[in-house]
Amino acid sequence: MRDVRSSVSELYRSGETFAVATVVDTYKSAPRDAGAAMLVNASGEVTGSVSGGCVEGAVYEEALEAIRTGVPVRRTYGVSDEDAFSVGLTCGGTLHLFIEPVSRETYAQLGSVLGAIDEHQPVAVATIVSDPSDAGRVGRRRVVWPGHAEGDLGEGCERLAAALDDDVRGMLAQGSTGLLHYGTDGQRRGDELEVFVQSFAPAPRMLVFGAIDFAAAVADLGTYLGYRVTVCDARPVFATPKRFPTAEEVVVKWPHVFLDEIADEIDQRTAICVLTHDPKFDVPVLKRALTTRAGYIGAMGSRRTHEDRLERLREAGVDEEALERLHSPIGLDLGARTPEETAVSIAAELVQTRWGGSGRALRETSGRIHRDTPSAPLIPAGFGQAKR
């Protein structure tokens, strides 16, 4: 729901009933991951996408029907046949969707969920999307925070609610999204009842050190990729919000001092980009960065700068194992020259680090294009899959 959050918030405040179609599961080369959403309002306007265009027409009609009837539905779309106008996925995958009407009456906790997301507070929503024994429970949900949970799953569902609360908190801690399966009475060994869990953990952080033109472009792309971007530089004349309008915050401090102050907040989803080009800045901050849990640490510079930087870091006491974590020179080899092109190169390496791609042209590779699980823990919040 992150991708349509602003539209959801606006419609919810207005009191209008609208429909949200959410990807709850995928198989093989589906175009969107679990959690991707498409919104349709009562007047027929569309926001978001669930398949990149393959099945949107059919989903649109289902969404309008859900608004009209007030009944949620689960739909599956597989491979289309030879008819160019048939409904299905041309990529060969399978997409499972849950389409539900949303209003203040059907989703009383949505305002609290949206508020938690805006305030970067962790929250997860667990929705029953299939229940062969009781169709009336489909669409019921639990909203789970680390310390409490809300939502009525129906009469006699206390055992299911207790199991869900425990399991969903585990998924929320990992920022994972996907389907859980239970027996109709909440037994963990059962598989009759499907519950879709969407986690909204706080967005991962990107720390950009060095208030230069390249940093502005990196901050723009970092924000686009879903990071909360902080730009830090010790020079107040350069480190200004006006120069970095897409960054969440701009900090005027020595980079290593600021990093030391927030070291406890850094987790494996954090990306650190050191773009300072100056040993008196980058060596102290890299020395500290390499002791953190950050999933990505990159530093800009030529190969000569890189070799000099490595020697300075060794002299500062950084061991070889720690130096292996350093992505330097930063980015993938795209032949980038401008700040914007260089930012694309860095963003490409972030994606590669997250999913374990080869970095080669797809036409030079074989096998599946989309990977099921990340190879490293650099995972933007609210993404990923969990299956039981």
Helices then strands (H, E): number in the chain? Answer: 10, 16
Beta-carbon contacts of residue 203 (< 8 Å; ≥ 6 apart): 120, 226, 227, 228, 380, 381
Q: Quick one: pLDDT band at residue 255, thresholds 50, 70, 90?
A: very high
Give residue 50's pLDDT. 87
The 10 Å Cβ neighbour count of residue 319 is: 10
How is 83-96 classified by DSSP, letter by letter?
STTSSSBTTS-EEE
Q: With a threshold of 0.85, does the pTM exceed it?
A: no
Give residue 84's pLDDT. 37
Are residues 73 and 101 in contact, defined by beta-carbon separation less than 8 angstroms? no
Mean pLDDT of the chain: 88
Q: How many CA atoms lie within 13 A of 196 on its CB side?
A: 26
Dihedral angle sign, alpha carbons of residues 367, 353, 278, 247: positive
> Which pair of tokens denotes residue 356?
């374990």
Are residues 206 and 270 in contact, defined by beta-carbon separation less than 8 angstroms? yes
Tell me the C-alpha distance between 244 and 361, whole Å: 32
Tell me the C-alpha distance between 55 and 62, whole Å: 11
Distance of CA 6 to the CA centre of its chain: 16
Tell me the C-alpha distance between 23 and 1, whole Å: 10
Give residue 386's pLDDT. 39
Tell me the C-alpha distance between 158 and 325, whole Å: 47
The string of pLDDT tens digits covering residues 19-60 is 999 999 987 666 678 889 999 999 999 999 888 777 888 999
In this structure, the strands spanning 94-102 and 73-77 are antiparallel
Tell me the C-alpha distance between 279 and 92, whole Å: 51
> Which pair of tokens denotes residue 154?
């129906």
Give residue 31's pLDDT. 63
The string of pLDDT tens digits covering residues 102-112 is 999 999 999 99
| Coil, helix or strand at residue 354 | helix
Tell me the C-alpha distance between 371 and 369, whole Å: 7
The string of pLDDT tens digits covering residues 158-169 is 999 999 999 999
Give residue 9's pLDDT. 94
Are residues 137 and 154 in contact, defined by beta-carbon separation less than 8 angstroms? yes
> Which pair of tokens denotes residue 23?
């990807």
